[in-house]
């Protein structure tokens, strides 16, 4: 039930980290994949790993904050493979910021990069998925969409919007297209390196996590595969936690009271 023979997927932010791991996991299950990110060299490396699995990868270097560029990925899948079955909206994120330095523009940019881009790709994919009988959309969200911590105002607000977008889109697109999300905790990717390289901070984060460690991109990719495949065929509008069990933020920026 976890196999995806002959399926076609689009994965954004696929040059490294969770996106790369997800693209490779889908290929291992039998899918061909359109992968996109800013850096062509990173995408080429991921494409090589997919080719080694006997599947095809189409590399599309692009600025995925451009809604036209991200929407075009759906049409690339249809043109190259004749169908589209799975979309993984992985691209997103924003830098931590204090409340008073979170300008309206900063907040709008965070929403655009995490929610608007996901909608642009998903809405472009829907007609193609319907032509093929249905499909699955997986949105990569964050625990900070449900937890409160200083410094995460823009990021957490955007990810909270993405999780509720998931529920609303699942209602709109049922029964032929399923839409789910993953609440990701602290996963050791290059984006986390700036803090994870500090042994004191990393140890603190690990101790604040019930499983006492950081996550691995492959563990999120396994959840992506579950939500993309028939194994989750009776699941839509759900937010799956892959967070080590945390109930509070495990990264403290030590921002002072105003």
Catalytically active residues are 155
Say if CB 23 and CB 57 are below 8 A apart.
yes
C-alpha span between 236 and 12 (Å, rounded): 21
Q: Is residue 145 exposed (0-12), middle (13-18) or buried (19+ Cβ within 10 Å)?
A: buried
Q: Which two tokens stand for residue 74?
A: 């759906």
Q: Is residue 222 exposed (0-12), middle (13-18) or buried (19+ Cβ within 10 Å)?
A: middle
- Cα 125 to Cα 57, 106, 158, 196, 219: the distances in Å are 18, 28, 22, 36, 26
C-alpha span between 54 and 31 (Å, rounded): 10
């Amino acid at each position: 039930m976890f196999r995806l023979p002959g399926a076609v997927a689009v994965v954004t932010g696929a040059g490294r980290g969770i996106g790369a791991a997800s693209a490779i996991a889908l290929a291992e299950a039998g899918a061909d994949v359109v992968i996109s990110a800013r850096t062509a060299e990173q995408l080429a490396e991921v494409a090589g790993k997919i080719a080694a699995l006997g599947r095809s990868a189409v590399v599309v270097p692009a600025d995925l904050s451009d809604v036209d560029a991200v929407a075009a990925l759906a049409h690339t899948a249809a043109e190259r493979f004749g169908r589209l079955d799975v979309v993984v909206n992985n691209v997103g994120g924003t830098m931590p910021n204090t409340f008073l330095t979170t300008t309206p523009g900063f907040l709008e940019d965070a929403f655009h990069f995490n929610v608007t881009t996901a909608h642009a790709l998903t809405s472009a994919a829907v007609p193609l998925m319907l032509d093929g009988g249905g499909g699955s959309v997986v949105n990569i969200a964050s625990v900070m969409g449900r937890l409160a911590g200083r410094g995460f105002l823009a990021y957490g607000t955007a990810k909270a919007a993405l999780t509720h977008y998931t529920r609303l889109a699942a209602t709109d697109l049922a029964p032929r297209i399923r839409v789910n999300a993953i609440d990701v905790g602290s996963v050791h990717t290059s984006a986390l390196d700036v803090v994870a390289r500090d042994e004191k901070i990393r140890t603190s984060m690990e101790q604040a996590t019930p499983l006492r460690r950081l996550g691995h991109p492959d563990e999120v990719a396994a959840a992506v595969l579950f939500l993309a495949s028939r194994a989750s065929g009776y699941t839509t509008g759900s937010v799956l936690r892959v967070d080590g069990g945390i109930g509070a933020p495990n990264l403290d920026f030590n921002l002072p009271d105003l």
